[in-house]
Amino acid sequence: MKLTQKKIAELLGCSVATVSLALSHSERISPQTRKKVLDLAELGQYRPDLQARSLSTGRSKTIGLIVGSLRSPFHGLLATNVQACLRDRGYMGITIPAEIYGRGSDAVEALLSHQVDGILSVTLSDEEARRVRDAGIPLVVYGSVQGPGVFLDERAGACLATEHLLGLGRRRLVYLGHRGPGDARFEGFRDGLASVGLAVHPSSGVAVGDASLAASGAAAMGELLSAGAAIDGVVCRNDALAIGAMRALAEAGRSVPGDVAVVGFDDLEICASLPVSLTSVRVDVPRIAEDLVAALMDLLQEGPQGVAEFPAPRVSTPVLMVRESTVGRSPR
């Protein structure tokens, strides 16, 4: 027979309230008592009655996470880390890739139909986020400077990558990635060029398909090479595009970094293990996930009034990880 909270309380000689708080990982309960409760709950195969708890507390203990695409290595990694942070707090996450819904508002409606307590988002526009918050729904957004969220200074990161290439004497640089309005990474690339009086190379306008795929980077670089673009450095929007670009360069007989130096963005685990390890702007995904979840937990504790009063977004600063794709192999 599986244990209930009442039975666990009887076996440990404590109150049902203590057991409930311990199972919710509350810091109001001492670590020793919390461990005893959790150990016994696991041994007795305790499973919470989520429906009953939702009715009594008005909370479902579920959080929605909206990402762009689970095919994106970065979004997939962020979703994994967010799920782990939620689990540690006694919550379950529901991850939705916005690409299959078309609009952010549709993804929000899908989550609300599952009675989520709050939403974390990587893709909602500022306008969509504002409508969600105006409706009293706790929301934390990654990448926004408006309202509760976590802001990665992508512009500074891309500028850092560009200045690194310029410092190595590279002058014919291109940016590989979308150049839509408000693209912070492209703006950072332009900032870096402007710091030494350079304008954006015309070839930076080459079309890029699905930016989550290395094949898109290979195709874009292939187009640049076919057009005879005289380049000696590339700043890529993400690591997937950079990996594809390096493949196309290799197939064309161009050496990296001898002929063309390449920088990625996100610093995925694979970057250090490539045949030519990839210099990349590191994004601390575990820290960002922790900050996102912590910010949402603050909102849930404060209630609806806390949404308007929450402080400015937490800022995450990127760091450049220099590897062989820009400086070559170190002599042994």
Residues 277 and 299 in one domain: no
Residues 276 and 298 in one domain: no
Residues 80 and 198 in one domain: no
Token reading at 164 = 């690194």
Per-residue confidence (pLDDT) for residue 315, from 0 to 100: 78
251-282 residue pLDDT tens = 999 999 999 999 999 999 999 999 999 999 99
Per-residue confidence (pLDDT) for residue 73, from 0 to 100: 85
63-92 residue pLDDT tens = 999 988 888 888 889 999 999 999 988 898
11-28 residue pLDDT tens = 899 898 888 888 877 778
Classify residue 109: in a domain, yes or no: yes
38 pLDDT more than 80: yes
Of residues 112 and 294, more confidently modeled: 294
Average pLDDT, the chain: 85
Number of structural domains the chain divides into:
3
Per-residue confidence (pLDDT) for residue 304, from 0 to 100: 47
Rounded to a whole number of angstroms, the distance between the first and last alpha carbons of the chain is 64
Residues 123 and 190 in one domain: no
Classify residue 210: in a domain, yes or no: yes
Classify residue 33: in a domain, yes or no: yes
Compute CA distances 97 → 66, 84, 111, 170, 328, whole Å.
Answer: 6, 18, 11, 38, 38
Confidence band, pLDDT 50/70/90 cuts, at residue 323: very high
119 pLDDT more than 50: yes
Classify residue 53: in a domain, yes or no: no
Residues 111 and 258 in one domain: no
Residues 22 and 101 in one domain: no
Token reading at 13 = 């000689």
Of residues 49 and 281, more confidently modeled: 281
Residues 237 and 126 in one domain: no
Of residues 44 and 290, more confidently modeled: 290
Residues 105 and 191 in one domain: no
Classify residue 44: in a domain, yes or no: yes
Residues 73 and 214 in one domain: no
Domain with 112 in it: what CATH number? 3.40.50.2300
Among the residue ranges 99-108, 195-204, 244-253, the one predicted with the least confidence is 99-108
Residues 130-148: what's their mean pLDDT?
A: 79
Instruction: State phi, psi for 34 to the nearest 5 degrees.
Output: -60, -40
Residues 139 and 159 in one domain: no
Per-residue confidence (pLDDT) for residue 6, from 0 to 100: 85
208 pLDDT more than 90: no
Classify residue 274: in a domain, yes or no: yes
Per-residue confidence (pLDDT) for residue 55, from 0 to 100: 44
Classify residue 54: in a domain, yes or no: no
DSSP string, 146-205: SSSEEEE-HHHHHHHHHHHHHHTT--SEEEES---TT-HHHHHHHHHHHTTTPPPPGGGG
Per-residue confidence (pLDDT) for residue 49, from 0 to 100: 55
The range of the structural domain enclosing residue 183 comes to: 154-282+320-327
Residue with tokens 């197939």: 251
Per-residue confidence (pLDDT) for residue 156, from 0 to 100: 94
- CA atoms of 209 and 241, how far apart (whole Å): 10
53 pLDDT more than 70: no
- CA atoms of 113 and 18, how far apart (whole Å): 32
Per-residue confidence (pLDDT) for residue 50, from 0 to 100: 53
Distance of CA 257 to the CA centre of its chain: 28
**Which of 238, 180, 182 minimizes the C-alpha distance to 205?**
180
181 pLDDT more than 80: no
Confidence band, pLDDT 50/70/90 cuts, at residue 221: very high
Per-residue confidence (pLDDT) for residue 129, from 0 to 100: 82
Q: Which residues of 308-321 are buried (b: 16+ CB within 10 A; e: fewer)?
A: eebeebbebebebb
Residues 126 and 167 in one domain: no
Classify residue 94: in a domain, yes or no: yes
Residues 162 and 278 in one domain: yes
Residues 270-295: what's their mean pLDDT?
A: 93
